[in-house]
Amino acid sequence: MPAIAGDGWVNCAQGHAHWGRFGAAGLLPVHRSVDGEAYVLMHHRGTHTDQGGTWALLGGARDSHESAVEAALREAAEESDLVAASARFELVVRDDHGGWSYDTVIVSFDQRAAVRPVEDESVAVDWVPLSEVQDLRLHPGFAASWPKIQSALDDMWGTESFRAAATPATVQAVTAPSLPAHPATDAQVVARTALDHGDGIAHRALVTFSDDTLAVLDQYVQVQDAHLKVLDAYVGRAVGARVPLTYPLGSRDVYTDYMPGEPASAHYLSLRKLADDGVPATRDGVCLGLYFALTATHGVDVDQVLLGAQQSLITVTDSVSSHGALPDAANPFVQTFYRQVEPHVFAWVDNPISAVDVEIVRRQLDGLRPVFEQFGRSDLHDTVMERFGQVAAHAVGTVPLLPLLPGDRIALPASVPRRHAALAPPPGSPERTDQQQISEALLTDDGRITETGQAKTIAIEAIAERMRSSTPELVLAAFGLAVGTDMAHRLGDGRYVLAPHNEQYPSMGADVLHVDELDEANPRHAPDRVVRMDDPHAEILVRWIGVSELMSSWSYGSNNNVRVLALQEAAKEEFGLTEVLEWRMDSKTRNAVALELDYNRDALRDFLRTQYEMTQETLASRNITEVLVYRALTWQEGAARPSWSGLSVGDTFEARQRPLASWAADRQIVADWLEKRGGHAVILVDRKPARDVLSIPATGMGYFAQKELVTLPGDGLVTLDGVITGKAPAVEAEQTAASSISLGAPSLEDAAPATTNGTDERQVPAKRWDPLPITARLDPADPVDSRIIRVLDGEDEAPDWWPRDDSGYAITKRDLDFLGINPVQVKWMLTGEAPMGMTPDLYRRFGAEMLEALRNDGIDPAQVDIRIKGTGAGFFSGQHKTMLREEDLPAEPTTRQRLRDWFGAGQDRPLRRPYDAMWRLGIEREPSDIDLDINSTAMVRAARTFWRSHHSDRYLGDFMNGHGYLDKQTAMGALPALAEWSRKWEETLGRPLSLGIFESSGPFDATVLGRSLSSHFRDTDWVIHSPDAPMAWRNPRPRSTELAGSRGEPIPSTTPAEPQIAISQPSGTSSAAAAAAKAFPRSTRRSLPTQPSTRQSDQSGPARPRSREDGKSEETTR
């Protein structure tokens, strides 16, 4: 099973709450001296811990994937310095409470070595004579199990016979075939009794293990039913219900912990009778209702509820559970959370769960995702999390429920009729006809707008003019295939021009060209078709292009690219949205979205707010207070059915929506698309108040040809307007603005792979890095080397040129020793002879071979600027990476110990992360990289050509990442020689290379936006090569004049290891270019033409209908 932390409380059949969601285990080391005296190693618990001051075992919660032995050894290693390598495993003694157990793992030692605690939870760890254990103040749980443990020890040492408990007379001895051992304890099955069972189960038996514990063996007919049994049990544990844990044995067989209890049917005729007695309003009743609501278990009857000790409730089943699309509103336990609130209206209702409970349960449910993924049911986990989101949104309790006793009564919130907007009118009613006419007039501006390009022209020009964001800020937010750093940095520079890709629709993008590049034979370069960058119209055109690029992220899909996911998050912030459908992202995508927001949050919010204000003005001018809108929702064959799939036409239900959602104003558009697409689907209708409409095609995002409106969530109630059941989806079915697929975080089944594909990065094996060993040494006879030695030895103060972070912390010998850094590397970095991780000779080869690789890729080195950034050039990271401290790592005892080994108890520590620090601490899997900024418009242009021929199905914004560097996959494909050079040097240096490729103007200068963190060109940059300083490694630049004389022999212009590279100089202005520049007017003396909404290639024609690649889907990820 996947690794899931066991920390958390769980409830047993005896009515107790225990620590350890999957049970717990403790290590009992024992030693018998030559004189026969027996000793056991005991743990004296700290007074601030649970049951503080008592004596117990080294141990704790068992993680989901661990055996009892593995858990006990891990816990002992975390809590003490016990060396378990010399231990001999003896046996496991289980204390089974029914649904929860504590396993005592007994190991023997030949010596009683001193053992010390390493955590502050312990007062001491001591060897205690066996005869004195009972006299200690024992932990109550350990005290209860001690007689059984002592008996096992007596048997182990042969001092007293150990008698196993007699098995019931009804139990028969196990016959072939033998059954698997218990997955947690390896205890063998010694007996089993056949049990009756219901539909879907081929065989059922109660099995007895060699440690006297019991479990139920179920052999299911269908594999998926066995999987659901396991997953349901994990959900039950996570929400605090008394649901026995289930262990998979194979594809169809499972063991389920035996939780004894009296059938509720012995006292009650039905669940309704239980409800009449107030049972659903107890602590256990509420938790059981939450379990049934999240799993949408249907058909539960009174026979499936057991009455345990202390009024506890246990749920069991003897057949395959029936799972619905929605919770079972007829189940009185479920009605605490979900019920029919009025005829044909089903909704989640206020419940007694507290904020504390919500936080705990959400964390535990979220941690179950690896288990669901193992069984191929991540879709089901998304559905469970969506349902819990509804529970959390309606949680109004103030008293934490999880710690209460099973039978404690809970005050359920009063049922208050929900206020909601008027529901949609029935099909065929006159009101629907009227609403259709109102929407038609709105979208077409009373017939004045007739096609998509016209609508987008109006929207783009208006948004670009009204947005408050500065032009550099807008460009930064729009980086992609058509927008790079040159468009921002060259603005106002008369040596450059904008050459639009499309004369009719200039907002589709433009090339930024130096006037020397103008070709009189190219019609696009004609003087009347280009715009000088110092012309006021250039800024207007740049803003149009920026807005068009932001719109294209929505045109591509409402949830399937990083930028649109950032827009969704920005909408939550801008409009204060809380009760929305969250989107599950893998860690790579989540980090990319966070980076996008870090850079562009203000611009994205401005982009949305501007559309909203324009839309509200338009609606108000027409006295429109509401619109009737439609959408299609579909799901894949075999996927978890969305909550709306099992309702009847005309039923209204509550379904969370994304912050921004796509709807169509014409039902026929939705129906036509579904007929073409096929498969399972429903049509929804909603009466949207005007205040919830963010944009229409003429005011922002929205596809005119599909009569699309983009809306905010509103009250979340929608009405089922049609059910479609047909053949599997057609491969070539065109997406529409009103289309979507299953709730949660699904994938568009016919879309190309993308960054949001949910790949589990942990499945990719980590590369083993072996950094280059540096064998050279400082020379005490060299003045600079001698100075460095004295500084490191503490004999001299650190000079001004010494490496420091921005807090003033200077590196010490202690730092270099821990990090494994040879001091000569610091010397080479300071003198400019080599960056960290290289020798001077390797550095020269590194640079020369890189230029040769670029030339082999068709890139003239005269068009390239290369710089080293990061810790390789300055030893410390920038201000965006703070050095971690022990308090930042509460769950990482090994890392905390490494920090103590490095710094001791002292607080004199760096503020920023030193070179290789995160790797040496074991936090990151890679040593510090060689961080290169490669700045070349020629390289970016080559990559654009490669993209168009190889990645035409990808979102155009992915071409450049958050702050303007080229997509790695594209860079390596477009520049194969550079890719091969990178692979070779990663092997040579034993550390990763990070290649950030930008346009020639370099990384975006964020200081123009008032930000302190920026990677733009600086005079202090470590330059490897540039047009102004070719092959700069030949003339190293030291940090101080004191360091200038420290280098030995002069560096030759070439060495046997350094190939000679011919660097061409930029050519002068050709006669044709000179003529063009001379004839080029300062102003185009004409208004710029209009533009369409959909993005096309540089030479594309007018707008086209949106295809599969640029279609959008409301709940869709690629």
DSSP string, 1014-1039: -----TTSEEEE-SSSTTGGGS---S
pLDDT tens for each residue of 537-557? 999 999 999 999 999 999 888
Is the predicted pLDDT of residue 1056 greater than 70, yes or no? no
Report the greatest alpha carbon distance in the chain. Answer: 109
pLDDT, residue 1065, reads 54
pLDDT tens for each residue of 695-754? 999 999 999 999 999 999 887 788 888 887 766 554 444 444 333 322 223 222 333 333
Q: Which two tokens mark 251?
A: 């594809």
Instruction: Output the pTM of the full model.
Output: 0.69
Place of tokens 């038609």: 440
Give buried/exposed letters for 1027-1043 (b at 16+ CB in 10 A, else e): beebbbbbebebbeeeb
The more confidently predicted of residues 954 and 342 is: 954
DSSP single-letter state for residue 282 = B
Is the predicted pLDDT of residue 645 greater than 90, yes or no? no
Q: For residue 766, what pLDDT band results from cuts at 50, 70 and 90?
A: low
pLDDT, residue 1086, reads 38
> DSSP string of 413-465?
PP--PPP-PPPPPPTT-HHHHHHHHHHHHHHHTTTT--SHHHHHHHHHHHHHH
DSSP single-letter state for residue 757 = S
pLDDT, residue 869, reads 92
Pair 101, 247: CB distance under 8 Å: no
> If you average pLDDT over every residue of the chain, what do you get?
83
pLDDT, residue 418, reads 62
Average confidence (pLDDT) over 230-237: 93
The more confidently predicted of residues 567 and 1107 is: 567
Burial of 767 (0-12, 13-18, 19+ CB in 10 A): exposed
Q: For residue 620, what pLDDT band results from cuts at 50, 70 and 90?
A: very high
The percentage of residues in the chain with a pLDDT greater than 70, rounded to a whole number, is: 85
User: Which of 40-44, 167-171, 471-475 tops mean pLDDT?
Assistant: 471-475
DSSP single-letter state for residue 996 = E
For the ranges 112-121, 570-579, 917-926, the lowest mean pLDDT is seen at: 112-121
pLDDT, residue 112, reads 87
Q: For residue 582, what pLDDT band results from cuts at 50, 70 and 90?
A: confident
Strands 865-869 and 930-935: antiparallel
Q: For residue 965, what pLDDT band results from cuts at 50, 70 and 90?
A: confident
Which runs of E-coded beta strand occur in 239-323?
246-248, 253-257, 262-263, 297-298, 305-307, 313-315, 322-323
Domain ranges for the chain: 9-157, 172-397, 794-1044
Which runs of E-coded beta strand occur in 823-943?
865-869, 930-935
Pair 964, 996: CB distance under 8 Å: no
Q: For residue 454, what pLDDT band results from cuts at 50, 70 and 90?
A: very high
CATH topology of domain 9-157: Nucleoside Triphosphate Pyrophosphohydrolase (3.90.79)
pLDDT, residue 421, reads 65
pLDDT, residue 787, reads 94
DSSP single-letter state for residue 1092 = -
pLDDT, residue 119, reads 67
Give buried/exposed letters for 232-266 (b at 16+ CB in 10 A, else e): bbbbbbbbbbbbbbbbbbeebbbbbbbbebeebbe
Distance CA 457, CA 452 (A): 9
pLDDT, residue 636, reads 57
Q: For residue 210, what pLDDT band results from cuts at 50, 70 and 90?
A: confident
The more confidently predicted of residues 234 and 1092 is: 234
Distance CA 845, CA 214 (A): 69
Is the predicted pLDDT of residue 446 greater than 70, yes or no? yes
Q: For residue 767, what pLDDT band results from cuts at 50, 70 and 90?
A: low
- Tell which residue, 39, 1083, 926, 142, has the closest CA to residue 535: 1083
pLDDT, residue 638, reads 54
Distance CA 1079, CA 636 (A): 60
Pair 503, 1051: CB distance under 8 Å: no
pLDDT, residue 548, reads 95
CA 582 to chain centre: 12
DSSP single-letter state for residue 767 = P
Average confidence (pLDDT) over 425-434: 90
Q: For residue 803, what pLDDT band results from cuts at 50, 70 and 90?
A: very high
- Tell which residue, 73, 79, 77, 76, has the closest CA to residue 123: 79
Q: For residue 839, what pLDDT band results from cuts at 50, 70 and 90?
A: very high
Q: For residue 1067, what pLDDT band results from cuts at 50, 70 and 90?
A: very low
Q: For residue 1022, what pLDDT band results from cuts at 50, 70 and 90?
A: very high
pLDDT tens for each residue of 33-55? 888 889 999 988 876 666 778 88
Q: For residue 1025, what pLDDT band results from cuts at 50, 70 and 90?
A: very high
Is the predicted pLDDT of residue 953 greater than 90, yes or no? no
Q: For residue 425, what pLDDT band results from cuts at 50, 70 and 90?
A: confident
Strands 9-11 and 17-19: antiparallel
Distance CA 1099, CA 1094 (A): 14
